[in-house]
Protein backbone atom coordinates (compact mmCIF):
# COMPACT_ATOMS: atom_id res chain seq x y z
CA UNK A 1 0.00 0.00 0.00
CA UNK A 2 1.27 3.48 -0.90
CA UNK A 3 2.37 6.04 1.67
CA UNK A 4 0.69 9.40 2.17
CA UNK A 5 2.05 12.46 0.40
CA UNK A 6 -0.12 15.05 2.17
CA UNK A 7 2.63 16.15 4.55
CA UNK A 8 0.32 16.08 7.58
CA UNK A 9 1.72 15.22 11.01
CA UNK A 10 -0.51 12.94 13.08
CA UNK A 11 -0.37 12.74 16.88
CA UNK A 12 -2.36 9.92 18.46
CA UNK A 13 -3.25 9.89 22.16
CA UNK A 14 -3.34 6.61 24.15
CA UNK A 15 -6.95 7.24 25.18
CA UNK A 16 -8.05 6.55 21.60
CA UNK A 17 -6.23 3.19 21.53
CA UNK A 18 -7.68 2.23 24.94
CA UNK A 19 -11.21 3.16 23.81
CA UNK A 20 -10.98 1.12 20.60
CA UNK A 21 -9.52 -1.88 22.42
CA UNK A 22 -12.21 -1.70 25.12
CA UNK A 23 -14.95 -1.40 22.48
CA UNK A 24 -13.64 -4.46 20.64
CA UNK A 25 -13.25 -6.50 23.84
CA UNK A 26 -16.81 -5.79 24.99
CA UNK A 27 -18.37 -6.61 21.62
CA UNK A 28 -16.32 -9.78 21.29
CA UNK A 29 -17.22 -11.03 24.78
CA UNK A 30 -20.93 -10.30 24.18
CA UNK A 31 -20.94 -12.14 20.86
CA UNK A 32 -19.42 -15.33 22.26
CA UNK A 33 -21.90 -18.09 23.21
CA UNK A 34 -22.26 -18.77 26.94
CA UNK A 35 -20.41 -21.84 28.27
CA UNK A 36 -22.51 -25.01 28.53
CA UNK A 37 -22.85 -27.02 31.72
CA UNK A 38 -20.97 -30.30 32.13
CA UNK A 39 -22.98 -33.27 31.02
CA UNK A 40 -23.80 -35.52 28.14
CA UNK A 41 -25.32 -32.90 25.89
CA UNK A 42 -22.78 -30.31 26.95
CA UNK A 43 -19.93 -32.68 26.20
CA UNK A 44 -21.37 -33.38 22.76
CA UNK A 45 -21.74 -29.68 22.06
CA UNK A 46 -18.19 -29.08 23.24
CA UNK A 47 -16.89 -31.81 20.96
CA UNK A 48 -18.83 -30.37 18.05
CA UNK A 49 -17.60 -26.87 18.76
CA UNK A 50 -14.02 -28.08 18.94
CA UNK A 51 -14.23 -29.41 15.40
CA UNK A 52 -15.96 -26.31 14.01
CA UNK A 53 -13.83 -23.38 12.82
CA UNK A 54 -13.41 -20.50 15.28
CA UNK A 55 -15.70 -17.54 14.91
CA UNK A 56 -14.15 -14.42 13.42
CA UNK A 57 -13.89 -11.40 15.69
CA UNK A 58 -16.68 -8.87 15.05
CA UNK A 59 -15.59 -5.48 13.78
CA UNK A 60 -16.39 -2.32 15.71
CA UNK A 61 -16.80 1.22 14.40
CA UNK A 62 -16.63 4.71 15.82
CA UNK A 63 -15.50 8.28 15.30
CA UNK A 64 -12.23 9.94 16.33
CA UNK A 65 -12.23 13.54 17.47
CA UNK A 66 -9.52 16.11 18.05
CA UNK A 67 -8.04 19.29 16.66
CA UNK A 68 -6.06 20.32 13.60
CA UNK A 69 -3.55 23.14 13.89
CA UNK A 70 -2.06 23.90 10.51
CA UNK A 71 -0.40 20.72 9.23
CA UNK A 72 -0.62 18.95 12.60
CA UNK A 73 -3.59 16.70 13.36
CA UNK A 74 -3.95 15.64 17.01
CA UNK A 75 -6.43 12.87 17.82
CA UNK A 76 -7.56 13.16 21.45
CA UNK A 77 -10.63 10.98 21.92
CA UNK A 78 -13.19 8.72 20.24
CA UNK A 79 -16.76 7.53 20.59
CA UNK A 80 -18.68 4.49 19.37
CA UNK A 81 -21.09 4.35 16.43
CA UNK A 82 -23.87 2.02 15.31
CA UNK A 83 -23.11 0.06 12.14
CA UNK A 84 -25.53 -1.69 9.78
CA UNK A 85 -23.70 -4.63 8.16
CA UNK A 86 -26.43 -5.19 5.56
CA UNK A 87 -26.00 -1.73 4.00
CA UNK A 88 -22.36 -1.16 5.08
CA UNK A 89 -23.35 2.21 6.53
CA UNK A 90 -23.42 4.01 9.85
CA UNK A 91 -26.47 5.21 11.75
CA UNK A 92 -26.45 8.86 10.72
CA UNK A 93 -28.95 10.11 13.30
CA UNK A 94 -27.00 8.45 16.11
CA UNK A 95 -23.79 10.04 14.79
CA UNK A 96 -25.31 13.53 14.72
CA UNK A 97 -26.69 13.11 18.24
CA UNK A 98 -23.32 11.99 19.61
CA UNK A 99 -21.60 14.84 17.78
CA UNK A 100 -23.97 17.36 19.37
CA UNK A 101 -23.37 15.94 22.85
CA UNK A 102 -19.60 15.96 22.47
CA UNK A 103 -19.70 19.52 21.17
CA UNK A 104 -21.23 20.64 24.47
CA UNK A 105 -18.43 19.01 26.48
CA UNK A 106 -15.52 19.57 24.07
CA UNK A 107 -16.37 22.67 22.03
CA UNK A 108 -12.88 22.81 20.46
CA UNK A 109 -12.89 19.19 19.23
CA UNK A 110 -14.04 18.26 15.73
CA UNK A 111 -14.70 14.95 14.04
CA UNK A 112 -11.45 14.07 12.29
CA UNK A 113 -12.47 10.67 10.94
CA UNK A 114 -13.43 7.22 12.10
CA UNK A 115 -11.97 3.99 13.44
CA UNK A 116 -12.47 0.28 13.02
CA UNK A 117 -10.77 -3.04 13.78
CA UNK A 118 -9.28 -5.58 11.44
CA UNK A 119 -6.07 -6.84 9.91
CA UNK A 120 -6.24 -4.50 6.91
CA UNK A 121 -8.52 -1.97 5.26
CA UNK A 122 -11.38 -3.62 3.37
CA UNK A 123 -13.18 -2.56 0.23
CA UNK A 124 -16.39 -1.79 2.12
CA UNK A 125 -14.50 0.65 4.34
CA UNK A 126 -14.34 3.15 1.52
CA UNK A 127 -18.17 3.47 1.56
CA UNK A 128 -18.05 4.56 5.22
CA UNK A 129 -15.12 6.83 4.47
CA UNK A 130 -16.97 8.62 1.67
CA UNK A 131 -20.10 8.96 3.82
CA UNK A 132 -18.13 11.01 6.39
CA UNK A 133 -16.71 13.45 3.82
CA UNK A 134 -19.63 15.83 4.29
CA UNK A 135 -18.53 16.24 7.94
CA UNK A 136 -14.79 16.34 7.22
CA UNK A 137 -13.64 16.72 3.63
CA UNK A 138 -10.49 14.68 4.33
CA UNK A 139 -11.26 12.21 7.14
CA UNK A 140 -8.65 9.93 8.66
CA UNK A 141 -9.13 6.22 9.20
CA UNK A 142 -7.65 4.64 12.36
CA UNK A 143 -7.42 0.86 12.12
CA UNK A 144 -6.60 -1.35 15.12
CA UNK A 145 -5.52 -4.93 14.50
CA UNK A 146 -6.86 -6.99 17.45
CA UNK A 147 -4.91 -10.15 16.58
CA UNK A 148 -1.89 -10.84 18.81
CA UNK A 149 1.52 -11.00 17.16
CA UNK A 150 4.29 -11.56 19.70
CA UNK A 151 7.00 -10.85 17.11
CA UNK A 152 5.60 -7.38 16.36
CA UNK A 153 7.32 -4.53 18.20
CA UNK A 154 5.25 -1.59 16.94
CA UNK A 155 1.70 -0.78 17.97
CA UNK A 156 -0.95 -2.64 15.91
CA UNK A 157 -2.46 0.69 14.88
CA UNK A 158 -2.47 2.12 11.37
CA UNK A 159 -3.68 5.54 10.25
CA UNK A 160 -4.94 5.89 6.69
CA UNK A 161 -5.69 8.92 4.56
CA UNK A 162 -7.57 8.93 1.27
CA UNK A 163 -6.00 10.18 -1.95
CA UNK A 164 -7.31 10.42 -5.48
CA UNK A 165 -5.22 8.22 -7.80
CA UNK A 166 -5.73 7.43 -11.46
CA UNK A 167 -5.93 3.64 -11.88
CA UNK A 168 -6.40 2.25 -15.40
CA UNK A 169 -7.42 5.71 -16.57
CA UNK A 170 -10.13 6.02 -13.91
CA UNK A 171 -9.71 8.38 -10.92
CA UNK A 172 -10.34 6.46 -7.70
CA UNK A 173 -10.07 7.15 -3.99
CA UNK A 174 -7.67 4.76 -2.26
CA UNK A 175 -6.33 4.42 1.27
CA UNK A 176 -2.70 5.40 1.88
CA UNK A 177 -0.72 4.85 5.06
CA UNK A 178 0.34 7.79 7.19
CA UNK A 179 2.98 7.88 9.90
CA UNK A 180 2.08 9.03 13.40
CA UNK A 181 3.55 9.59 16.84
CA UNK A 182 2.11 8.91 20.29
CA UNK A 183 1.36 12.09 22.24
CA UNK A 184 0.42 11.97 25.93
CA UNK A 185 -0.56 14.32 28.72
CA UNK A 186 -0.06 13.79 32.44
CA UNK A 187 -3.60 12.48 33.06
CA UNK A 188 -3.22 9.90 30.29
CA UNK A 189 0.13 8.70 31.61
CA UNK A 190 -1.41 8.14 35.05
CA UNK A 191 -4.41 6.30 33.55
CA UNK A 192 -2.31 4.07 31.31
CA UNK A 193 -0.02 3.25 34.24
CA UNK A 194 -3.06 2.36 36.36
CA UNK A 195 -4.44 0.07 33.64
CA UNK A 196 -1.05 -1.61 33.26
CA UNK A 197 -0.96 -2.43 36.97
CA UNK A 198 -4.49 -3.84 37.27
CA UNK A 199 -4.67 -7.26 38.89
CA UNK A 200 -5.13 -10.07 36.34
CA UNK A 201 -8.62 -11.58 36.16
CA UNK A 202 -7.19 -15.09 36.67
CA UNK A 203 -6.11 -14.20 40.20
CA UNK A 204 -2.40 -13.90 39.54
CA UNK A 205 -0.16 -13.66 42.58
CA UNK A 206 1.75 -10.59 43.66
CA UNK A 207 4.99 -12.19 42.45
CA UNK A 208 3.52 -12.60 38.97
CA UNK A 209 2.42 -8.98 38.88
CA UNK A 210 5.84 -7.85 40.13
CA UNK A 211 7.59 -9.94 37.48
CA UNK A 212 5.39 -8.47 34.75
CA UNK A 213 6.02 -4.95 36.06
CA UNK A 214 9.79 -5.45 36.19
CA UNK A 215 9.75 -6.98 32.71
CA UNK A 216 7.97 -3.90 31.38
CA UNK A 217 10.49 -1.59 33.06
CA UNK A 218 13.38 -3.65 31.69
CA UNK A 219 11.96 -3.47 28.16
CA UNK A 220 11.48 0.29 28.44
CA UNK A 221 15.04 0.84 29.68
CA UNK A 222 16.39 -1.44 26.96
CA UNK A 223 14.50 0.49 24.30
CA UNK A 224 15.69 3.82 25.73
CA UNK A 225 19.28 2.59 25.75
CA UNK A 226 19.08 1.48 22.12
CA UNK A 227 17.61 4.83 21.04
CA UNK A 228 20.33 6.74 22.92
CA UNK A 229 23.03 4.58 21.27
CA UNK A 230 21.63 5.32 17.82
CA UNK A 231 21.55 9.04 18.57
CA UNK A 232 25.06 8.93 20.02
CA UNK A 233 26.52 7.14 16.97
CA UNK A 234 24.75 9.61 14.69
CA UNK A 235 26.18 12.63 16.52
CA UNK A 236 29.67 11.10 16.54
CA UNK A 237 29.48 10.53 12.80
CA UNK A 238 28.30 14.10 12.32
CA UNK A 239 31.17 15.42 14.45
CA UNK A 240 33.75 13.40 12.46
CA UNK A 241 32.39 14.78 9.20
CA UNK A 242 31.15 11.42 7.92
CA UNK A 243 27.65 12.81 7.43
CA UNK A 244 26.59 16.42 6.80
CA UNK A 245 25.37 18.63 9.63
CA UNK A 246 21.61 18.92 10.06
CA UNK A 247 20.76 21.96 12.15
CA UNK A 248 17.11 21.01 12.70
CA UNK A 249 18.13 17.68 14.24
CA UNK A 250 20.77 19.34 16.40
CA UNK A 251 18.18 21.77 17.73
CA UNK A 252 15.88 18.87 18.61
CA UNK A 253 18.70 17.04 20.43
CA UNK A 254 19.62 20.22 22.31
CA UNK A 255 15.99 20.76 23.32
CA UNK A 256 15.75 17.14 24.51
CA UNK A 257 18.91 17.43 26.60
CA UNK A 258 17.69 20.64 28.24
CA UNK A 259 14.60 18.78 29.47
CA UNK A 260 16.71 16.29 31.40
CA UNK A 261 17.31 17.08 35.10
CA UNK A 262 20.78 18.19 36.16
CA UNK A 263 21.87 14.95 37.86
CA UNK A 264 25.13 16.35 39.23
CA UNK A 265 23.63 19.42 40.88
CA UNK A 266 23.61 19.92 44.64
CA UNK A 267 19.85 20.46 44.69
CA UNK A 268 19.24 17.12 42.97
CA UNK A 269 21.38 15.26 45.51
CA UNK A 270 19.59 16.91 48.42
CA UNK A 271 16.15 16.17 46.97
CA UNK A 272 17.14 12.60 46.14
CA UNK A 273 18.52 11.91 49.63
CA UNK A 274 15.45 13.46 51.23
CA UNK A 275 13.08 11.32 49.17
CA UNK A 276 15.23 8.24 49.74
CA UNK A 277 15.27 8.78 53.51
CA UNK A 278 11.50 9.36 53.56
CA UNK A 279 10.97 6.11 51.69
CA UNK A 280 13.18 4.19 54.12
CA UNK A 281 11.40 5.80 57.08
CA UNK A 282 8.00 4.76 55.74
CA UNK A 283 9.30 1.22 55.14
CA UNK A 284 10.65 0.98 58.72
CA UNK A 285 7.41 2.38 60.12
CA UNK A 286 5.38 -0.20 58.19
CA UNK A 287 7.67 -2.97 59.48
CA UNK A 288 7.35 -1.80 63.11
CA UNK A 289 3.58 -1.54 62.75
CA UNK A 290 3.41 -5.08 61.38
CA UNK A 291 5.61 -6.40 64.22
CA UNK A 292 3.52 -4.58 66.81
CA UNK A 293 0.32 -6.06 65.36
CA UNK A 294 1.83 -9.54 65.42
CA UNK A 295 2.90 -9.10 69.06
CA UNK A 296 -0.57 -7.90 70.04
CA UNK A 297 -2.12 -10.98 68.43
CA UNK A 298 0.34 -13.21 70.28
CA UNK A 299 -0.40 -11.52 73.65
CA UNK A 300 -4.14 -11.88 73.06
CA UNK A 301 -3.73 -15.61 72.40
CA UNK A 302 -1.57 -16.07 75.54
CA UNK A 303 -4.13 -14.17 77.65
CA UNK A 304 -6.93 -16.36 76.34
CA UNK A 305 -4.92 -19.50 77.10
CA UNK A 306 -3.98 -18.40 80.66
CA UNK A 307 -7.51 -17.22 81.33
CA UNK A 308 -8.87 -20.69 80.57
CA UNK A 309 -6.13 -22.29 82.70
CA UNK A 310 -6.77 -19.95 85.65
CA UNK A 311 -10.43 -20.88 85.72
CA UNK A 312 -9.40 -24.49 86.34
CA UNK A 313 -6.30 -24.00 88.56
CA UNK A 314 -6.75 -20.58 90.11
CA UNK A 315 -3.86 -18.81 88.31
CA UNK A 316 -4.08 -15.25 87.07
CA UNK A 317 -3.67 -14.12 83.50
CA UNK A 318 -0.17 -13.62 82.04
CA UNK A 319 -0.75 -9.95 81.24
Is this structure's pTM higher than 0.85? no
The Cα–Cα gap between 146 and 159 comes to 15
Strands 9-12 and 180-182: parallel
Q: What is the pLDDT along the chain (319 residues), one digit of tens a residue?
A: 667 777 889 999 988 998 999 999 888 888 776 655 454 444 444 444 444 445 567 889 999 999 998 889 999 999 998 887 777 778 888 888 988 888 888 888 999 999 999 888 888 888 888 888 888 888 999 999 988 777 777 888 999 998 888 788 888 888 888 899 988 887 777 777 776 666 555 555 555 666 777 788 888 888 888 888 888 898 898 888 888 888 888 888 888 777 766 566 777 788 888 988 988 888 888 888 889 988 998 888 888 877 766 666 555 544 5
What is the DSSP pairing of strand 9-12 with strand 61-69? unpaired
Query: Under DSSP, is residue 121 helix (H, G, I), strand (E, B) or coil?
Result: coil
Q: Which helix (H) or strand (E) segment is 110 a member of? A: strand 110-117
Burial 226-257 (b: 16+ CB within 10 A, else e): eeeeeeeeeeeeeeeeeeeeeeeeeeeeeeee
Strand (E) positions, 179-220? 180-182
Residues 6+ apart with CB under 8 A from 185: 13
Amino acid sequence: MASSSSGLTFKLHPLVIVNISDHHTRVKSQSQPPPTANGGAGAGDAAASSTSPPLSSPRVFGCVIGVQRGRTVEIFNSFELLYDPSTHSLDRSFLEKKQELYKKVFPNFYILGWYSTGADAEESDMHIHKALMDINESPVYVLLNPSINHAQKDLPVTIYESELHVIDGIPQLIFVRSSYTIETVEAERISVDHVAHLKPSDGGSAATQLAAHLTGIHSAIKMLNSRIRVLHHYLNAMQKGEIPYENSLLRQVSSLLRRLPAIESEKFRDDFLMEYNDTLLISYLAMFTDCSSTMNDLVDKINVAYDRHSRRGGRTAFI
